[in-house]
Chains A and B, each alone.
Chain A
Amino acid sequence: MNKTQQILFDEPGPRAQRRIRIATVLGAILLVGALVAAVYQFASHGELAAARWEPFTTWPIWRYLLNGLWATLRAAAATAVLSAALGLLLALGRLSTHRPLRWLAGAYVEIFRTVPTLLLIYVTLFALPQYGLNFPLFWKLVVPLVVSNSAAFAEIFRSGILALDRGQTEAGLAIGLRRGQVMALVVLPQALLQLAPSLVSQLVGLLKDTSLGFVVSYTELLYSGQVLASYTHLLIQTFLVVALIYLVVNASLSKFARVLQARNGRFGGRRGRRTAELPPPLLEGNTPR
């Protein structure tokens, strides 16, 4: 039992247990019903025929899809590195003591946090070439993703830096470090450790964004699926398999973020600084630490 459940209901008595059993049965019936309906829908349109799924047991199809996944990961990696670096600079800019710098970084973040990535992609696809800026396909996807993701990263970094105890900065200044040194030696290392889970979560979002390669015809996973489907005419099967691949990759990343989160909590607890965030003593036995 976790914290929420402890809040909302007691250890169930006989009557509650009976009701839980009834709800379980009803839920199971609904679930099975939905599954049966789905299978029926597939079967009645002939989409369950073995011949329509068999190709997905063959290597050439998988090689093609895994190539797509590889392209997705490449685009995601390039986007992650560039937008994390740019995001860090923007966050430092927003926190800088120079007003123009603060203003510029702030404007960049506010603008690109509220402009859809697809609009930015259309700009790189259809507007920039008119001004002689014609990127290769890979960068037509990565550049707009970096522009919008760097704004998201900047906000993550900024919130992490701001969340760190002021005393850390003050102590750094007190022992004679310059502001830049305090940031590089004291504040950032600690903030990054705290932020690790959010940064990994942002990676999931970023990886999902690479599916916009579909629009620029960059053969990442989703576009590969599209090409494959138009070639094999196995529309729904292909897109279901593609969805499954995304799900496996991203769920692993999300899981990794949760592991980091749990670890961070323990680090913080040992330092004893974040005790305020720990659940009240009443519940201590129920928390995973």
Chain B
Amino acid sequence: MEALTAHLSQLGHGLVTTVELTVVTTVGAMLLGIVVATLRIAPVPLLRAIGTAYVEVFQNLPLLALLVLFVFALPTIGITFPLFTSAAIVIAVYEGAYLAEAIRAGINTVGVGQAEAARAIGLTFGQSLRHVILPQGLRAVIQPIGNICIALLMNTSLAAAVGVVELTQAANNVNLVEAQPIAVFTGAGLAYMLLALIIGQVTGLLERRLAIVR
């Protein structure tokens, strides 16, 4: 226990970094996901192909390989960002592919009649997407999106492997000093479970408030 309390600020910093990374990448990935899902259902074949390629590439590459490529290799062609920013960009791009697929599944649940009605009153593709399809589609997949956010939270730990000191790395650092692995790693594990629980509760709440009963 002393191992935990003695390094509370260090672990606290790690926890804050994990939360920041999770929040920033969730927002980024959500925006990317909406854009890519839109590309995948657009009337333009080229745009559909781009959307599909995006999802294929980023769902089939390991996140760690992307992080290593971005953080260690891109500087050789003159592309450098602060470490936290790099990690955030990569995780957002990676999770964006998963969110895009979830959003597309949501769009598939929207009734054909809804889209037909939108077209019948003269809405364009963009308008019907914005006012009719997406609002309903997103509300249908709140639960899957929540699960992806929990996966995202766990994936932020990979930033540790390229040098971001977030919760996992902070726990590791504290353990290397204190040699109290059980206390330190259990503490970190509990923190992750707590964060996942919060995400689960929030999505549950959102689902109860927003889900459309058909």
Contacts and interface: CB of A to CB of B under 8 A. Distances in A.
A27 B77 contact: no
Interface string A205-223: 0011111101100000010
A247 B60 CA distance: 5
A12 interface: yes
A226 B161 CA distance: 13
Contacts of B104: 4
Contact of A42 (B77, B156, B181): B77
Interface residues of B, number: 63
Interface residues of A, number: 64
Nearest to B18: A116
A115 B68 contact: no
Contacts of A3: 108
Interface stretch (A54-62, A85-93, A168-176, A233-241): A233-241
Interface stretch (A117-125, A159-167, A179-187): A117-125
A214 B64 CA distance: 8
B150 A45 contact: no
B31 interface: no
B212 interface: no
A214 B189 CA distance: 22
Contacts of B153: 114
A111 interface: yes
A111 B65 contact: no
Interface of A: 3-10, 12, 16, 20, 23-24, 27-28, 31, 41-42, 44-45, 47, 110-111, 113-119, 122-123, 126-128, 130, 204, 207-212, 214-215, 222, 225-226, 229, 235-236, 238-240, 242-243, 246-247, 250-251, 254, 280, 282-283
Given A116-B192, A235-B73, A254-B59, 9 more contacts: A7-B115, A8-B128, A23-B42, A117-B157, A119-B157, A235-B76, A239-B65, A240-B73, A247-B57
Sort A-B residue pairs by CB-CB distance and give the 7 closest, nearest first. Answer: A127-B181, A116-B157, A250-B60, A114-B196, A211-B62, A208-B62, A236-B73
